[in-house]
Every structure is written in C-alpha cells, then in structure tokens.
Amino acid sequence: MKVLVTGGLGYIGSHTVVELYNNGDEVIIIDNLSNSKEEVLDKLETIVGKKIKFYKGDLCDKELVRNIFKENKIDSVIHFAGFKCVPESVQLPLKYYRNNLDTTITLLEVMDEFNVRKIVFSSSATVYGTPEILPLTENCVVGGTTNPYGTTKYFIERIMEDLYISNNNWDITLLRYFNPVGAHKSGLIGENPNGIPNNLMPYVFKVASGELECLNITGNDYDTVDGTGVRDYIHVVDLAYGHVLALKNNKHDEVKIYNLGTGKGTSVLEIVNMFEKVNNITINKRFAPRRIGDIATCYADTKKAKEELGFETKYTLEDMCRDGYNYVLKNK
C-alpha cells in the first residue's frame, strides 16, 4: 500500500513510517518542519534501508497537496500533522484552530477530489475530558475538553463523522492515543521537544541528562495509589504498529474509533522510580502544586482495539524508560 504520512518527521509519525516499511508498505511524507528536523529523514532512511519520498511544505497549501496526489498513486493517508502543546494552545488558541483544522480540511478536500477516502487520524484521550468511568471505553462521552488543543481533536472527530454521514465510501479511523513514550531501539529517532518540555517523560529525561535541575511532581494529593497522577503510558513503537493494524482493517460500516493504550495506569512516582531503576540514575525531584485542569487518573479500556484490530502491546514500562533515555543519550 502507498501511504501518505502527514507530519511524518515528527515523534509518532516517524515511528509509524518505520512500522509501515516493516509491513512492506511504501511511504510518502509531507512535513513543514515546524516541530521536527529534516535530519529525521536521513535517520529514517538508515533504519528502513530505502529512500523515502519527502515533500517539505505546509499541509494547508492546497496546490502542494494536489501535486502530491497527482504525482503519486496514494492508497491511504495517516494524518499526524498538527500542533500539540496544551499550554501554548491556551495562550494562542487561533494558531491551534487554524493549523489543526486547516490542515485537516485541506487534506480531506484534496483526498475527496482524488477519490482517496481511506484515512487514519491521530486523535487523543484528551477528547474524553474528565473521565466519567474508568477504564475509558470508546463509548464514553466526548467533548468535555479543557483546552483548545483538545477541542481541535474533538472538532476534527466531528468533521470526520459528518463527512462519513455525507458519503459512506469514506473509510475513517480515529485513534485515541493515551500517553506515548519511549523511542525506537536504534536510538536514531525519538521525541525531541523544543525548550522546556510540558510532558512528564521528556522532562525526566532532561533532568537525568543534567539539562534541567529538578523534576516538579505536579500534585501528590490526588486520590490515587500514592497521591500522584496516574496515566496510561504506551511505548511509541507499539502505538505506531497500531496504525499499521488500523490500515489493514477493511470494515467500514461506521467511523471506526479505537483507544490505543496498554490498559494499565501508572503513577508519576511509579514511572519515575522505574526510570531510576532501569537507567541506574537518581532523579532530583520535589512535590509541587497540581497543574490547572489536570485529572487524577486516566487509562484505556483496550478491549475493542484488541478484538477488532488484534492490537496488543509488546513493550513494558522498563522498555519505555530505557529506550526513551537511550535516544536522549545518543542525541545529546
């Protein structure tokens, strides 16, 4: 299958490109490098041992996107391109609505024009807002988002559902990711956020490597096993493989929605302790106030993804802590 991967030089996109090649698919990437570097392309080519066709440009540029579809016989699309920083989205909501919605609408219009109607979209567990029940199933209410980033994901889900209602020939999969961490075992690709990270594990890596002084554990008075926040961390390689399975799933009597997580909740202290153990390092840390808008606990019900996609995670929390830090050390 020839797959267009938007945002394919980013963290999850790059790992998915590797899994697609492992599956025998061919990939075309479009990325404007707003949150990635062109050198990721060389690293991907080293890993997969092949030249990869890359378009450097903006997915909101309709003429460019048309040219990509003219020049390549694309069978399906995996759509990662978008902005993802929660605090920035609160400061600059229009930037987020413009980019995340415009990329998606432009892409869908061009796909329709070229009769390519198979798409997998990067959604997020954030669409569930504050969980009403745990574990979160795909049937839980969505839309109670607490920041503009999350709301863009919710809006895009709605746009895709409306599109399917208008034309049942669309084959749409919405993947709701939980917390991706870790990196490819080669250490060539991984997560490389600009500036001070907002997410836990990139922050831990920077404390471990000496770039940041101390980890603030934001909240130790939640109603959880040890008072710290609980999340469902999933190895990015497992998550990436979920996209390969989603493309293979030919059922399309509805918009398909799947949680991609492990189904297991881990507290901040549990994952930091695991990080210290597997990397034989001590993290300088202190307790700090809760982050505004944070929820106590969030983890996935993975039954539907297992039954319908055959999705099962292979990697452990140890792997996530070791592989993520291996990437950081190799790219210091």
Binding residues for ligand UDP (CB under 6 A): 179, 198-200, 203, 216-219, 229, 231, 268, 291, 294
62 or 287: whose CB is closer to ligand NAD?
A: 62
Instruction: Specify the stretch interacting with ligand NAD by CB under 6 A; choose among 24-32, 157-165, 200-208, 271-279.
Output: 24-32
Q: 124, 220, 279, 297: which one contacts ligand NAD (CB under 6 A)? A: 124
Q: Is 177 in the site for ligand NAD (CB under 6 A)?
A: yes
26 or 270: whose CB is closer to ligand UDP?
A: 270
Instruction: Specify the stretch interacting with ligand NAD by CB under 6 A; choose among 25-33, 283-291, 303-311, 320-328.
Output: 25-33
Closest of 294, 330, 17 to residue 130, by C-alpha? 294
Helix (H, G, I), strand (E, B) or coil at 82: coil
- As given in the structure block, the two tokens for residue 313 are 């995670």
Q: Give the integer Cα–Cα distance in Å for 10 and 324.
A: 15
Locate all alpha helices (DSSP H) within the chain, ordered by sequence: 11-22, 39-48, 62-71, 86-91, 93-113, 148-166, 200-208, 236-248, 268-279, 303-304, 317-330
148 or 244: whose CB is closer to ligand UDP?
A: 148
From the candidates 55, 149, 258, 327, give the one annotated as an active-site residue: 149
Question: Cβ of residue 190: shortest distance to ligand NAD, in angstroms?
Answer: 10
Dihedral sign for Cα 115, 158, 298, 276, please: positive
Q: Give the integer Cα–Cα distance in Å for 246 and 252.
A: 11
Beta-carbon count within 10 A of 292 CB: 10
Q: Is 111 in the site for ligand NAD (CB under 6 A)?
A: no
Window 71-110: residues binding ligand NAD (CB under 6 A) = 80-82, 84, 99, 103
Asked if residue 93 lies in contact with residue 83, where contact means CB atoms within 8 angstroms, the answer is no
Establish whether 149 is a catalytic residue: yes
Which positions lie near ligand NAD, rule CB under 6 A? 7, 9-13, 30-36, 58-60, 80-82, 84, 99, 103, 122, 124, 177, 180
